[in-house]
């Protein structure tokens, strides 16, 4: 198994794409905490389940069919399959687990289903993984767009988990030593997965190889000690995103919850209605006519957070079929064949040594194509050049990841922006 070298950055040349930086992650965590309710403070800030592996049904009229029968007739899977889901409490009726024989449905009842894949489907599969870093505890990969992170409804094979299992030399799921995800339905389907990216999103994702790493990184996410930076190509970026220097930006502080109208989607929902506190800090770094390239630093890890926040700000991610604008996606269909969102960087402490780690994922070709004709905003030319030509960063010292500070991010930098 090849181990990718991890270098201490000193401003000189290096062939590695990962660097150790003097990132004070404790300071990051302290700066990013905000006032919230007792319940919200206790909740984990790790990424929530992706709605692609879930579904919700609202009963339109009374029905006396058994729960397992009702679901098997609504979906393609068998009655026994749904029986297993119900036994594992992966099916909830009005938020509560129930029995397979339940049949007293009334209009307005809601059934939430979390789909689980059969055990025999979890097989290692060859995959061309872009490995950014690997040691005995963690594996950091630049996920390609279109790859689902783990088996889910409609994506039983060809997932990142399948590829990682093959990369690590496992011959079957039973042979795998990857730790299962936190306890709960489908935890065995997410071995080593601490955080996730949507299927159309590319970029940095960390996989834990053992329980020590899984527990350490999970706690870091829960304590908001993990730095994440995303890049997004959006349609109609607002002027309020412009004029910020690195480390600051326009704050979007709006709670997110499941949409009441479309249960598979997320939306801005007040906390009284079930929304959870969500914060993203956004700044524009380049533009071209109707498009902007944004740098987004999420402070929380809600499902689809960046996509929902930017759509709420009338600046939807280009190519986003769920939250984007159909007319914009159609106009730029030759430029965006997927959601143009990229998890550019990831920083956290090494689970065993405690050493601060920082990783950057090079842009994929489609993302480069979308931004190569953009005009950098003032003082951002070097940033755009480094994104398009990663090799240039070996000769030019890279800036340390800026430490976010909620108390100052709303202060605009004194930078003139010609927009």
Three-state secondary-structure class, residue 131: strand
Instruction: From residue 130, give the alpha-carbon distance in Å to each of 30, 127, 142, 167.
Output: 33, 9, 5, 11
pLDDT (0 to 100) of residue 253: 97
- Domains of the chain by start residue, with CATH: 1-32+225-419 (3.30.2350), 51-114 (3.10.290.10), 117-223 (3.30.2350.10)
Identify whether the C-beta of residue 194 lies closer than 8 Å to the C-beta of residue 46: yes
Q: Which residues are catalytically annotated?
A: 198
Nearest-angstrom CA–CA distance, 36 and 331: 41
- In the prediction, which pLDDT does 185 show? 57
At 189 the pLDDT is 80
Query: Contact at 8 Å (CB) between 209 and 289?
Result: no
Q: What pLDDT was estimated at residue 184? A: 60
What local confidence, expressed as pLDDT, does residue 186 receive?
A: 64
What digits encode the pLDDT tens for the residues 64-113? 899 999 998 887 678 888 898 899 888 999 989 999 999 889 998 999 88
Residues of the chain with pLDDT under 50: 1-52, 394-419
Nearest Cα to Cα of residue 150 among 114, 177, 186 = 186
CA distances 246 to 8, 66, 112, 367, Å, are 22, 57, 42, 21
pLDDT for 28 = 33
Residue bearing tokens 């098997």: 72
CA distance 132 to 167: 13
Query: Which of 170, 169, 171, 144 shows the shortest CA–CA distance to 159?
Result: 144
Q: Residue 406's pLDDT is what? A: 36
């Amino acid at each position: 198994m090849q181990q990718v070298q991890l270098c201490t950055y000193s401003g000189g040349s290096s062939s590695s794409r990962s660097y150790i930086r003097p990132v004070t992650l404790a300071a990051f965590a302290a700066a990013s905490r905000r006032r919230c309710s007792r319940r919200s403070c206790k909740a984990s800030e790790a990424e929530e389940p992706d709605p692609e592996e879930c579904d919700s049904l609202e009963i339109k009229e009374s029905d006396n069919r058994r729960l397992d029968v009702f679901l098997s007739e609504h979906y393609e899977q068998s009655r026994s399959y749904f029986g297993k889901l119900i036994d594992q409490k992966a099916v909830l009726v009005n938020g509560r687990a129930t029995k397979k024989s339940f049949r007293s449905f009334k209009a307005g009842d809601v059934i939430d289903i979390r789909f689980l894949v059969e055990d025999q489907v979890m097989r290692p599969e060859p995959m061309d993984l872009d490995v950014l870093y690997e040691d005995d505890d963690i594996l950091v990969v630049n996920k390609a767009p279109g790859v689902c992170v783990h088996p889910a409804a409609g994506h039983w094979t060809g997932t990142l988990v399948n590829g990682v299992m093959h990369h690590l030399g496992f011959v079957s799921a039973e042979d795998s030593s990857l730790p299962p995800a936190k306890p709960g339905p489908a935890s065995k389907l997410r071995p080593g997965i601490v955080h996730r990216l949507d299927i159309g999103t590319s970029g940095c994702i960390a996989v834990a190889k053992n329980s020590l790493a899984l527990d350490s990184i999970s706690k870091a996410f829960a304590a908001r000690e993990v730095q994440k930076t995303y890049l997004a190509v959006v349609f109609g970026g607002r002027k309020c995103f412009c004029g910020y220097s690195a480390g600051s930006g326009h704050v979007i502080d709006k709670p997110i919850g499941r949409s009441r109208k479309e249960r598979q989607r997320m939306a801005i929902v007040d906390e009284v209605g079930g929304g959870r506190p969500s914060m993203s800090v956004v700044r524009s770094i380049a533009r071209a006519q109707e498009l902007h390239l944004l740098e987004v630093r999420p402070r929380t890890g809600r499902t689809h957070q960046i996509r929902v926040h930017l759509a709420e700000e009338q600046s939807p991610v280009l190519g986003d079929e769920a939250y984007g604008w159909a007319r914009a996606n159609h106009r730029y269909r030759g430029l965006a064949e997927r959601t143009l969102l990229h998890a550019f960087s990831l920083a956290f402490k090494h689970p065993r040594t405690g050493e601060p780690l920082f990783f950057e994922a090079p842009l994929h070709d489609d993302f480069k194509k979308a931004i190569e004709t953009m005009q950098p905003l003032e003082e951002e030319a070097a940033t755009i050049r480094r994104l398009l030509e990663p090799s240039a960063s070996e000769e030019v010292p890279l800036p340390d990841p800026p430490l976010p500070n909620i108390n100052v991010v709303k202060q605009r930098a004194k930078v003139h922006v010609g927009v």
